[in-house]
Amino acid sequence: MTAIIQYNAGNILSVANALERLGERYVVTDDPVEIQKADRVLFPGVGEAGSAMQYLKAKGLDLLIPRLEQPVLGICLGMQLMCTHSREGNTQGMGIFDTIVSKFPPKGLVPHMGWNNITALSSNLFTGISDTDDVYFVHSYYASLCHETIASTNYIVPFSAALEQKNFYALQFHPEKSGKTGSKILENFINL
């Protein structure tokens, strides 16, 4: 059973649909007890960092998530909130990943929206995936490259497309919107 964390930050339905296509049972919840009981946890998100973190703090989820021991996968805003700090709204993150989230410089079209490949893949999360496979991005902020980077992408600047630290994984792109490649990544996560 997978718990999808509900924190009023978008894209829950598309993530739930992706799990249904894989035959995975899930619950959408912000209940700490249900989250702790789950075999794995998805932490998706679309929206603004500051207000999302306020909701997490109000529910005590900002303290719970970093203590989880089962596999946890952050997606897009979920990934950014798992980092040390986001410059979006000067938001203190959960510090699971030791990197800063910054806004893309105004040298190109922002947000970064559309298909792009991921390179330097170095995790079981990417079993069966190659660096010629494309995934779908929609974001204006990015996590800098760091020692926890397990995949990178270059859009205006090189950035972390994925991060890993112990049982915590995170993707800047949307696997639920990335066709067969994204489905395979979600399947790999379920099978960790």
Which are the catalytic amino acids?
76, 174, 176
Q: Are residues 160 and 143 in contact, defined by beta-carbon separation less than 8 angstroms? A: yes
Question: Per the omega criterion (within 30 degrees of 0), is the bond before 111 cis?
Answer: yes
C-alpha 46/C-alpha 7 separation (Å) is 10
3-state secondary structure of 117: strand
Q: Could you tell me how far CA 166 lies from the centroid of its own chain?
A: 15
C-alpha 172/C-alpha 137 separation (Å) is 7
Instruction: Please name the amino acid found at residue 15.
Output: V
C-alpha 53/C-alpha 90 separation (Å) is 11
